[in-house]
Structure formats: C-alpha cells, structure tokens
Structure 1
C-alpha cells in the first residue's frame, strides 16, 4: 500500500456487473470520458472476484469504487473489510439483494452514493435500500425514473465530482 504525506490523490475504479465486462456500456463510457478510471474483467463467484479486486488494488489507498450491480456488491464487501482504504463508493443498482449478503454489525463510515432505478426488477429498491441503510452510515440515495441498467441517468451523474 502506498502512503504519501498530505492529501493523497484518489484512485477511481469501475467494478462491472456479474454478466458484464470492461466491454460493457458503462465501462466503455468511462474509457471514453474518464480514462483515468481503472478497470479489469472479473470472473468467478463473489469470493473469487473479491480476491481479484484485492490483488488489483494492493498498492492503492484512497479508492473511489464505482460498482454496477454485482460490482456494487463487490465494492460494498471491500468497503466493509477495508473502510480506511475507501474515499467514496458509488453504487449503481447494487446487488445487495444477493442471498449471501448480510449487512455488517457496525455501519461502514465510507461516504456512499446509492443510485437505483425505480423500475429495477433485478435489484429492486424495496429490497436493496434497507440493506444499504443498514450497511452505510453516510448514505446518499437517488432513486431515478430508470431500470436496472440506469442508462437514462448514468451519464448525467456528476462524475467530475464523484471521481475526485
């Protein structure tokens, strides 16, 4: 892990969903508009993906994790294990309704933006929101007129602010 005196520059990462990749719509959007966002393809089950994430960020602190769907679940699990290494989470329709996920006994202090689509049938707000509220102490919630893919609202988020 790198540690530097003063305020360290944040390292933004995009974590794609279960059936997606860095060739997906959101990943390609980041590659075009914010090429500093790091990403890689993840595969396997949740534990295998978390091991891959741990290896990827071994040398970084001050992480900004942007997780889409299953990637949002990964970001949440990482923040529970390593809150001191996370500057911010941006969870896009996170799969907190995944059967194996249980909120921690103590809320995580990482500032977190939760963006969900009102019409999401994969990760419905009525199941995800209570788990997010039980997980994060500093949670900002945006429920948009969108579905699971968040294609309508995703590009309109203030990424300049969120990624710094």
Structure 2
C-alpha cells in the first residue's frame, strides 16, 4: 500500500484573532484556504468577555490546536493555562503577553503544550524581547521564530510550514 503524501490535517483547529481584527481578516481568510474546517469566530469586548465567548466554543471537543494572533495569542495562552488537557498545540503570532494587554495580576503557570511563536523584528506593537523572555519562562516546549516582519506578520503567515506544523500525529 502506498504511503499517503498529502498531509492529514487535524480536525479541531481554531484561529483566534487580534484585538482590532476579526476571524475574517487577513490571517483568518488565509488559514481557511489551508484548513477549510478551521473555526474563525469573531470576538468582542475586553479579555474576560472574549474568554466567556471562547470557552463554550472549545468546550465540546479536546485536542485543540489554537492559532492566536496578538490579543488572540494572549487568549490562547489564557485558555491553555486554564484547560491544558484540552490543548494539543499553540501556534502564536506576536502574542500580546505584555501590559497593557495582559493584566499584571494574570498568573500563567508553566505549560507543557508544544508552542510555536512567530514574532517580527519590526513589531512596533508588542515587544519581541519581553515576549521572548516571558515565553521562555512559560513554555518548556517552545520554538520561537524571529522573522523579518512587522506586527501584522502577513508575509510570515504565508511562509509558515503549515503542512508539517499542523498534521495528524501518527
């Protein structure tokens, strides 16, 4: 029997957009072309309101891959810290793990969830140095990619090796 060469993508994937974006923005639309079954909901309000919208979406299933951008990266990390058993992987684009986005009293424990971060060197919104230091302290299984890009990471999202990063485990 021939080995299948087309990647088999996981079923439970969600894209969590940034603060001033939507699930139908650039990244959400692009990710739909790769993963037609990806969830790309819209979130409104502040962090706690958005978490109240996110939790019921993810509650019915396990084995989630959370793809979070900026504020959506913060939401992804907060969800994974509360429900680590439900998350298989985090893929984060310039996660907003800094004040004023991340509340100072927000305690994030060490998370053993495999985590891949892409952060642009020209990011003027979220400090790459702070995020890198915080990420190293939170994620023991971290791949931190510094890329030639800005906060929006539009060219980067198209260069991510999605077919190897997000495939079914054998």
Fold match (TM-score > 0.5) = yes
The answer for the alignment partner of 1:146 in structure 2 is 149
Q: Distance in 2 between matches of 1:10 and 1:108?
A: 22
Q: Kindly indicate whether the alpha-carbon contact (under 8 Å) linking 1:103 and 1:134 is maintained by their aligned counterparts in 2.
A: no
Count of aligned positions: 155
Q: Tell me how far 1:71 sits from its aligned partner.
A: 0.3
Q: Kindly indicate whether the alpha-carbon contact (under 8 Å) linking 2:97 and 2:134 is maintained by their aligned counterparts in 1.
A: yes
Structure 1 residues 69 and 79: alpha-carbon distance in aligned structure 2, compared to 1, 3 A threshold = same
Runs of at least 5 residues in structure 1 that lack an aligned partner in the other structure: 1-8
Write the deviation string for residues 28-72 of structure 1: whole angstroms up to 9, x where unpaired. Answer: 111223212112000111011111110101111000000000000
> Which one has the largest radius of gyration?
2
Q: Distance in 2 between matches of 1:75 and 1:47?
A: 12
Cα RMSD after superposing both structures: 1.4
The answer for the alignment partner of 1:109 in structure 2 is 112
Q: Distance in 2 between matches of 1:146 and 1:92?
A: 11
The answer for the alignment partner of 1:89 in structure 2 is 90
* Pairing 1:1-164 to 2, within 5 Å after superposition: 10-99=11-100, 100=103, 102-104=106-108, 106-164=109-167
Relative to the length of structure 2, the TM-score reads 0.86
Q: Distance in 2 between matches of 1:23 and 1:91?
A: 17
Q: Distance in 1 between matches of 2:49 and 2:166?
A: 26
Q: Tell me how far 1:103 sits from its aligned partner.
A: 4.8
Match of 1:38, SS state, is coil
Relative to the length of structure 1, the TM-score reads 0.89
